Structure 1
Amino acid sequence: MITVSGLRKTYGDVVAVRGVDLDVRDGEVFGLVGPNGAGKTTTLKTICGLVEPTAGDVRVAGYDATDPAMRHHLGFLPEESPLYEEMTPRSYLRFFADLYDVPRETADGRIAAALDRLDLDVRDRPVGDFSKGMKRKVAIARSLVNDPDVLVYDEPASGLDPVTTKTVVDFTRELAAEGKTVLFSAHDLYHVEAVCDRIAVMHDGRVAAKGTLDDIRGEYGSVEYRVALTRQLDGAESVGDHYELTVESMDKVEALRERVQGVGGEVVDIRTRESSLEDLFLAITGESKRAAEERTRVERGEHELEG
C-alpha cells in the first residue's frame, strides 16, 4: 500500500533523508522509530505529498505521492496539529468532510462513529476549551472523515496521559483490523513494540534495520536465561530460599543442571529475557545508555500531562 524506493531529501547542504526504502503492506501497522533528527518526520511528510523528494519514488495506494488524487485515500496526523479552536468538534469535522466532498449524512455517521470509539463525548463546545488529549482525539477523527485506505500518524500519542494513550494505541490496532494500512512514528518504544506488525529503525537519515521485532532481535539482540537453583554454585546469587545465575544459551542451562545435580540440587525455574525494542534501538543507533535515559525522560515528560 506504501512503497518508498531510494528516497532522498536535501535542504541545501543538509541531507535529511538518504536512500530510504520502505514497503508497508495492506492492513499492516508499521512503526517508524529513531532518535531525534533521524529523518522520520521528513519521510512521513514526503509520503503524504507535503514535501517534494530530491530523489526517489514514493507511492501510496497506487498513486504517486505528489498526485493530488492520492490525498483522497490518505489520512494524515502531524505531530503538531493546530485546530480551529473557535469551532466545535462536530462543526470542525464537518468542515473537513466538506473539503473531501463527503455527503453530510455520510460525514455525520463517520464523525459520530470515530468520536464514539475515541471516547470523546463533548462535541458541541469550542475546541479551544479542550485539554491536549481531547484535541488529539479530534485531530485523529479528522484523519478519518474521508474514510482513507492509508493512515500516516506522526507521534499520535505524544504528551498524552496513560489512559488517553491507551485509547489511541488500541484504536490504531482496530483500524488495521478493519483493513486500513497504518504507518506511524513514535518515541515511546513500548507502544511500538505492543502494536506494530513490523518496524523500521531510522538513524542518520537511513533505515538502519527493518522487519518484525523477532527479525530485528535475531540480528541485533540477545537472549538471557535466569536459572534458579536449590544449591549454591560459583557465581550464583542468593535470592530468598534459592540461588540464581544468568547464562546466554540453553546449552549453558543444561550444563548448570548437570552441575547442580552433581551436588545434590536441582533447577527449579528458568526465566527467559529477550532484548526489548529499547535494547535493540540502542544497539542499532549506538545511542549511549545515559543519552537514552535522558531522551526517555524528556519525551515521556517529567511534568504534568493533560488527558
Structure 2
Amino acid sequence: MVAIELDGLTKRYGDVLAVDGLDLTVEEGEIFGFLGPNGAGKSTTIDILLDFVRPTSGTATVLGLDAQEESLAVRRRIGVLPDAYHVYDRLTGRQHLDFVVDSKDIGDEVDIDGVLERVSIREAADRKAGDYSKGMRQRLVLAMALLGDPDLLILDEPSTGLDPNGARQMREIIEAENDRGTTVFFSSHVMEQVEAICDRVAIINRGQLVAVDSIDGLRGQTQTMTTLTIDVGDADADDAAALQNRIYVTNATLDGDRMQVSMTRDGSKFEVLQALDERGVEIRDFSIDESSLEDLFAEYTTERQEVKQ
C-alpha cells in the first residue's frame, strides 16, 4: 500500500519553479526522510500534501486520498508537526489538545494525559503556552500531532528547539509510532537522526528529485570512500603496498601497528582482510568509517545528479 504518491508535482510562483515535476512514492509503514538544502522545495511539497498550497500541475495522493480534493478526510487521518507552527499564548497546553480532539471529532478515543506524558509536558499541561520554552512548544505541537493515533505523521524539522535528550526522545517516539504501524514522513537537517531511523530517504535539489534509496543504497551510487583501519601485527610497508594493486583500493598506509586502507564503494573490506591474512599478517582488530549521510547529502546536492530509480 502507498502512503504518499506524488506524480509530476509542480509548483511555480511567478518565475520561480519551487517544485519541478516531482515523482515520489512512500510506502505504508516506512520511516521516510525528505531532505534537501534550503530553498530546495521541501516545505512547498509538504504544504501541498496538507493543502496549504495548491500545485500548478501534477497530483499528490495521501493515504489513497487526493490531497486537494479530499483534504478534510486526509487531515483526520494524519498528524502534523509543521516547521512554522504557531501556538496560542493565552491557551494552556491541555486546551491546545482539546481543540485538536474537537476538530478531529476523536473525543472518545484519546488519552490526553497519556499523550502529554509521552512528550514530557504533563506537569505543564495547565500552564499557558505563552510561558513555555521553545522546546516545550515543540513538544506541545508534537503532542497535538500524536492525538488520535494517526496513520501518517508528517514532521517538518521535528527536533527544532530540543536539547540532545529531547532529540533522542523525539527519535524514540517516532520509532514507537512506526512500530505501531504509523508511516512517518519527515524533513530534517539533523542528519544523524535521519541516518539513525530512516528506512529510505529522498534528496531533492532545486525542486527536483536527485536521489531516493536507503542510506546504504545512496552510498553505493556515489564515489564516496570507505576507510578501513586495521590493528595489525607482523606487517611491513610491502604489505600495504601490495593492497594498492587492487583496483578498488585508492591508498594503503602503515603507521606502526595501524594500517589504514581507503577503498571505493566497489571495494570489499573482507577481501582486504583476506589478502592480509594470506600474506601472513596478524589481524588483531579493525573498524570501518563509511561516508555519513551528511557527506552523501553534500555530494548529491553539489553535483545535482538526476535520480535513477
Q: Displacement of 1:192 after TM fit?
A: 0.2
Please show how residues 138-177 of structure 1 align to structure 2 within 5 Å: 138-177=140-179
Measure the CA separation in 1 of the matches of 2:147 and 2:228. Answer: 49
Match of 2:229 among 226, 230, 246: 226
Identity of aligned residues (%): 38
Q: CA deviation at 1:158?
A: 1.6
Q: Are the equivalent residues in 1 in contact too, given 2:229–2:258 (CA < 8 A)?
A: no
Residue type matched to 1:223 in 2? T
Deviation per residue, 1:152-197 (Å, 9 max, x gap): 1100112321111111111011111111111000001000011111
Relative contact order: is structure 1 or structure 2 higher (C-alpha 8 Å, sep ≥ 6)?
A: 1
Structure 1 residue 271 displacement after superposition = 2.0
Equivalent residues in 2 for 1:266-281, closer than 5 Å? 266-281=282-297
Q: Any idea what the Cα deviations from partners look like across 1:119-157, whole Å, max 9, x if unmatched?
A: 222211111111111111110111233432111110011
Distance 1:146 1:254 in 2: 54
Is 1:134 matched up with 2:151?
A: no
Are 2:247 and 1:245 aligned?
no
SS at match of 2:74: helix
Q: Which ranges in structure 1 are unaligned for 5 or more consecutive residues?
A: 288-307
- Within 1, Cα distance between the matches of 2:272 and 2:28? 42
Cα deviation, residue 258, structure 1: 4.5
CA distance in 1 between partners of 2:289 and 2:226 (Å): 6
Structure 2 unaligned spans of 5+: 239-251, 304-309
| Preserved contact between residue 89 and residue 124 of structure 1 (Cα < 8 Å) | yes
Q: More deviation in 141-150 or 25-34?
A: 141-150
Equivalent position of 1:285 in the other structure: 301
Q: How does 1:10-25 map to 2 (within 5 A)?
A: 10-25=12-27
Q: Name the SS of the counterpart of 1:286 in structure 2.
A: helix
1:84 to 59, 84, 88: 88
Deviation at 1:267, TM superposition (A): 3.0
- CA drift of 1:86 comes to 1.0
Pair 1:72 & 2:76 matched: yes
Instruction: Give 4+ residue runs of structure 1 displaced > 6 Å after superposition.
Output: none
Q: Counterpart of 2:5 in 1: which secondary structure? A: strand
When the two structures are superposed, what TM-score results if normalisation uses the length of structure 2?
Answer: 0.84
Corresponding residue of 1:93: 97
Name the SS of the counterpart of 2:221 in structure 1: helix
- Note the aligned Cα RMSD (angstroms): 1.9
Contact 2:195 2:293 in 1 (8 A): yes
| Number of corresponding residues | 278
What CA distance in whole angstroms lies between the structure 2 residues aligned with 1:279 and 1:140?
29
Letter in 2 for 1:73: R
Query: Which amino acid in the other structure matches residue 253 of structure 2?
Result: A
Give the equivalent residue in structure 2 for 1:182: 184
Shift of residue 237, structure 1, vs aligned partner: 4.1
Determine the C-alpha separation between the residues in 2 that align with 1:116 and 1:79: 23
Partner of 2:117: 116
Quote how far apart the aligned CAs of 1:44 are: 1.0
Deviation at 1:270, TM superposition (A): 2.7
TM-score in terms of structure 1 length:
0.84
Q: Can you list the C-alpha shifts for 1:72-104, whole angstroms capped at 9, x where unaligned?
A: 11222111211011111111210221122233x
Distance 2:201 2:296 in 1: 11
